[in-house]
């Protein structure tokens, strides 16, 4: 009865190549769904926290872990703490203690404003709009670099200054200029249709600023990072150091 | 005290819910069955302490602790002799000292402290103040007098009211009879048709009744209860239930703040083919109430909202 079974119909594949593509597709789907949103949210928490708190007071390594842990919760991708620290190297119990110890503090310091509007969905919305209203351009072509641009933007302060839709629009325009297709008419005639001249100019200016900001990020050198780290060990507030005896 | 029970037959309230404990002057309790049995002759010794007691002095125990019953007994006996009133003393201080003394005597007797000497003290007091005791016995204190007066007043008022009601009833009866007679007279001697006469009488009776109901005033109500509390007092404090009349709720649509271009409406999303460009909704997702329009709308709102965001301070900063 194998011939009519679900075994043949659904679970027998042509070869290893098909399995490989299936697996990578699955994992890619999963990553797209969560990973980007998570890192965006975590970085926004991190930046917001250090706006009003000093790195000398709270060590960035501790807060980084806490931000990621909290963003997992906020973005509805909950990972239990035991599993979370399994991905870390070093003393896992200590990390778990640190993360749980700082979690409530972090939430308090960001005033419990836990909803983060990431530019990723905005970019998705732009793609949908582009595909619907401007069929001449192959939108999928722009996706790769657009998402790359957003990833880069996470390293800047853009999320603290601009609206997510502006960042997404900048990503779209940066990608289109790289791919050599012109979206100006789409933006002015369709996307921003009905906007006043002043609004139009403002938006264009904002996009320019974002693109400049992302393009001109200063790359971080390992040496400088190490130097700062050493310095920080000397001048950090020992009261907030879980390892210190104070 | 865990369980009330008769010390003699060991019956408890739990085993016999209808158990009734009785207590005598010595302050020891017995159940009513044991009292019937032991004091069949009318008198005998208390099985606990051996005090000679009489059956007629047994009463039902009200308080759980028989010691309290004993004290109540003693208090009643002592107060029979020490019955001076506040008016018999010159100063409040003296009266308070007197009350203090009574309490001490009662306490001593109830707790078996210097019983003999205390009893002697009471005895001598009784002999010395024989006359005043007898005099005070029939005399009422001020408070009691006042209450007595109030009760009397109330009774008087109620008899007056009864009389008034009775009189008005009598009047009514007489009047009706007279009206009836007048009607019959009219019917016998008048030239008008019988129907007219009847109608006329009816209306005149009605008007008379209306007038009367206006005139009759309510008999004045008593203003004081026998307890001395003013009647009608405090009625001013009952808050009238205030019924707030709120305007009927009507829904008013709201404008979403956009800081950006217009959002496409749900219809536009459906008509203009936006849905062709997103992942199709699977059947199981649709079964759960999920619709593609919502998530499409959300993405578009995210894309369009905030596009015009601009803070003035930024204009001064240099790119």
Select from A122, A103, A124 the least CA-distant residue to A114.
A103
User: Is residue A169 located within the same domain as residue A94?
Assistant: no
pLDDT recorded at residue B38: 84
User: Among partner residues B272, B298, B306, which is closest to A165 by beta-carbon distance?
Assistant: B306
Domain-embedded: residue A151: yes
Q: Is the pLDDT of residue B218 over 70?
A: no
pLDDT recorded at residue B64: 79
The CA distance from B305 to the nearest CA of chain A, in Å, is: 7
Contact A120, A37 (CB under 8 A): yes
**ipTM for the whole complex:** 0.78
Contact B136, B83 (CB under 8 A): yes
SS3 state at B59: strand
User: Is residue B173 located within the same domain as residue B206?
Assistant: yes
CB contact under 8 A, B261 and A192: yes
CB contact under 8 A, A209 and B261: no
Neighbours of A228 (CB within 10 A): 13
Contacts of B296 in chain A (CB under 8 A): 128
Contacts (Cβ under 8 Å, ≥6 apart) of B205 = B179
Question: Which residue did the predictor score with more confidence, B57 or B180?
Answer: B180
User: Among partner residues B301, B302, B307, which is closest to A203 by beta-carbon distance?
Assistant: B307
The CA distance from B297 to the nearest CA of chain A, in Å, is: 8
User: Residue A123, exposed/middle/buried by CB under 10 A (0-12, 13-18, 19+)?
Assistant: buried
- B22 DSSP β-pair partners: B30, B60
Q: What average pLDDT does the segment B212-223 reach?
A: 54
Q: Look up residue A188 and give its DSSP letter.
A: I
User: Is residue B119 located within the same domain as residue B177?
Assistant: no
User: Is residue A210 located within the same domain as residue A145?
Assistant: yes
CB contact under 8 A, A132 and B301: no
What is the C-alpha separation between B153 and B162, in angstroms, rounded?
14
Q: Look up residue B317 and give its DSSP letter.
A: S
Residue B318: which pLDDT band, with cuts at 50, 70 and 90? very low
CB contact under 8 A, A166 and B319: no
Search chain A and give the residue with CA nearest B279: A128
Contacts of A125 in chain B (CB under 8 A): 298-304
Domain-embedded: residue B77: yes
What is the C-alpha separation between B139 and A176, in angstroms, rounded?
115
Which structure tokens are listed for A75? Answer: 């973005």
Domain limits for position A90: 34-116+222-246
Q: Is the pLDDT of residue B1 over 50?
A: no
Contacts (Cβ under 8 Å, ≥6 apart) of A202 = B308, B310
pLDDT digits (tens, 9 = 90+) for A152-178: 998 899 999 999 999 999 999 999 999
Residues of B with CB under 8 A from a CB of A: 259-262, 272-274, 276-278, 296, 298-310, 314, 319
User: Among partner residues B261, B278, B310, which is closest to A193 by beta-carbon distance?
Assistant: B261
Neighbours of B28 (CB within 10 A): 20
pLDDT recorded at residue B228: 56
User: Is residue A230 located within the same domain as residue A167?
Assistant: no
The number of domains in chain A is: 2
User: Is residue B135 located within the same domain as residue B71?
Assistant: yes
User: Is residue B118 located within the same domain as residue B101?
Assistant: yes
pLDDT recorded at residue A117: 92
Search chain B and give the residue with CA nearest A118: B302
User: Is residue A142 located within the same domain as residue A205?
Assistant: yes
Which structure tokens are listed for B303? Answer: 């894309």
Select from A183, A233, A208, A222 the least CA-distant residue to A55.
A233
Q: Look up residue A5 and give its DSSP letter.
A: S
HEC string for B107-174: HHHHCCCCHHHHHHHHHHHHHHCHHHHHHHHHCCCHHHHHHHHHHHHHHHHHHHHHHHHHHHHHHHHH
What's B2's domain CATH number? 3.30.40.10
The CA distance from A74 to the nearest CA of chain B, in Å, is: 18
User: Is residue A178 located within the same domain as residue A62?
Assistant: no
What is the C-alpha separation between B134 and B81, in angstroms, rounded?
9
Residue A8: which pLDDT band, with cuts at 50, 70 and 90? confident
CB contact under 8 A, B309 and A206: yes
Which structure tokens are listed for B137? Answer: 């016995």
What is the C-alpha separation between A199 and B258, in angstroms, rounded?
13
Residue B230: which pLDDT band, with cuts at 50, 70 and 90? low
The CA distance from A123 to the nearest CA of chain B, in Å, is: 6
What is the C-alpha separation between B221 and B153, in angstroms, rounded?
12
What is the C-alpha separation between B173 and B178, in angstroms, rounded?
9
Rg (CA), chain A: 23
User: Is residue B92 located within the same domain as residue B131?
Assistant: yes
What is the C-alpha separation between B69 and B203, in angstroms, rounded?
73
Domain-embedded: residue B208: yes
Domain-embedded: residue A8: no
Mean per-residue pLDDT of chain B: 81
The number of domains in chain B is: 4
Search chain A and give the residue with CA nearest B272: A132
Domain limits for position B278: 266-304
pLDDT digits (tens, 9 = 90+) for B189-201: 877 777 888 888 8
What is the C-alpha separation between B301 and B175, in angstroms, rounded?
89
Contact A106, A63 (CB under 8 A): yes
Looking at B45, B61, B77, the residue that finishes a domain is B61
Which structure tokens are listed for B19? Answer: 């158990």
User: Is residue A104 located within the same domain as residue A129?
Assistant: no
CB contact under 8 A, A132 and B303: no
User: Is residue A210 located within the same domain as residue A159?
Assistant: yes
SS3 state at B52: strand
What is the C-alpha separation between A185 and B159, in angstroms, rounded?
105
pLDDT digits (tens, 9 = 90+) for B105-161: 888 888 888 888 888 888 888 888 888 887 777 776 677 888 989 999 999 999 999
- Chain A stretch 164-183, residues whose beta carbon is closer than 8 A to a beta carbon of chain B: 164-166, 168-169
pTM here? 0.52
Contacts of A192 in chain B (CB under 8 A): 261, 307
Domain-embedded: residue B107: yes
User: Residue B19, exposed/middle/buried by CB under 10 A (0-12, 13-18, 19+)?
Assistant: middle
The CA distance from A2 to the nearest CA of chain B, in Å, is: 28
User: Is residue B7 located within the same domain as residue B43?
Assistant: yes
Residue B2: which pLDDT band, with cuts at 50, 70 and 90? low
User: Is residue B36 located within the same domain as residue B75?
Assistant: no
What's A75's domain CATH number? 1.10.472.10
Q: Is the pLDDT of residue B221 over 60?
A: no
């Amino acid at each position: 009865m194998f011939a009519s079974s679900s075994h043949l119909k659904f679970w027998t594949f042509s070869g290893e190549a098909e399995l490989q593509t299936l697996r990578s597709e699955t994992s890619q789907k999963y990553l797209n769904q969560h990973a980007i949103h998570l890192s965006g949210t975590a970085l926004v928490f991190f930046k917001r926290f250090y706006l009003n708190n000093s790195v000398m007071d709270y060590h960035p390594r501790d807060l980084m872990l806490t931000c990621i842990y909290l963003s997992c919760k906020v973005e509805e991708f909950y990972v239990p703490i035991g599993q979370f620290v399994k991905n870390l190297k070093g003393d896992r119990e200590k990390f778990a203690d640190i993360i749980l110890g700082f979690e409530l503090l972090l939430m308090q310091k960001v005033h419990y404003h836990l909803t983060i509007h990431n530019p990723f969905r905005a970019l998705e919305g732009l793609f949908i709009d582009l595909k619907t209203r401007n069929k001449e351009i192959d939108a999928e072509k722009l996706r790769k670099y657009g998402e790359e641009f957003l990833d880069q933007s996470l390293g800047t302060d853009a999320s603290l200054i601009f609206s997510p839709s502006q960042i997404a629009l900048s990503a779209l325009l940066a990608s289109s200029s790289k791919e050599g297709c012109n979206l100006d008419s789409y933006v002015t005639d369709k996307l921003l249709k009905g906007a006043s001249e002043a609004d139009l100019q403002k938006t264009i200016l904002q996009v320019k600023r974002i693109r400049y900001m992302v393009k001109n990020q200063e790359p971080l050198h390992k040496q400088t990072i190490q130097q700062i780290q050493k310095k920080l060990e000397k001048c950090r507030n020992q009261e907030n150091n879980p390892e210190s005896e104070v | 005290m865990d369980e009330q029970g008769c010390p003699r037959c060991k019956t408890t309230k739990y085993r016999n819910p209808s158990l009734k404990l009785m207590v005598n002057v010595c302050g020891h309790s017995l159940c009513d069955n044991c009292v019937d049995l032991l004091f069949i002759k009318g008198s005998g010794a208390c099985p606990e302490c051996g005090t000679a007691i009489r059956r007629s002095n047994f009463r039902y125990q009200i308080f759980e602790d028989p010691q309290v019953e004993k004290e109540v007994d003693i208090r009643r006996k002592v107060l029979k002799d020490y019955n001076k009133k506040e008016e018999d003393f010159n100063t409040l201080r003296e009266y308070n000292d007197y009350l203090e003394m009574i309490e001490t005597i009662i306490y001593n007797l109830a707790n078996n402290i210097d019983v003999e000497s205390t009893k002697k003290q009471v005895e001598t007091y009784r002999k010395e103040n024989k006359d005043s005791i007898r005099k005070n016995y029939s005399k009422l204190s001020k408070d009691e007098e006042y209450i007595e007066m109030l009760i009397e007043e109330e009774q008087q008022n109620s008899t007056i009211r009864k009389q008034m009601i009775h009189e008005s009833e009598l009047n009514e009866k007489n009047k009706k009879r007279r009206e009836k007679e007048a009607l019959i007279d009219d019917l016998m001697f008048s030239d008008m048709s019988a129907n007219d006469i009847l109608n006329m009488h009816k209306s005149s009776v009605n008007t008379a009744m209306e007038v009367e109901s206006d005139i009759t005033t309510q008999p004045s109500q008593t203003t004081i209860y026998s307890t001395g509390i003013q009647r009608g007092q405090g009625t001013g404090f009952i808050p009238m239930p205030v019924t707030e009349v709120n305007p009927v709720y009507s829904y008013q649509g709201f404008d979403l703040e956009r800081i950006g271009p217009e959002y496409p409406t749900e219809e536009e999303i459906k008509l203009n083919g936006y849905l062709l460009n997103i992942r199709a909704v699977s059947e199981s997702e649709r079964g759960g109430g999920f619709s593609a329009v919502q998530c499409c709308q959300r993405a578009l709102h995210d894309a369009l909202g905030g596009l015009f965001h601009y803070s003035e301070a930024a204009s001064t900063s240099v790119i």
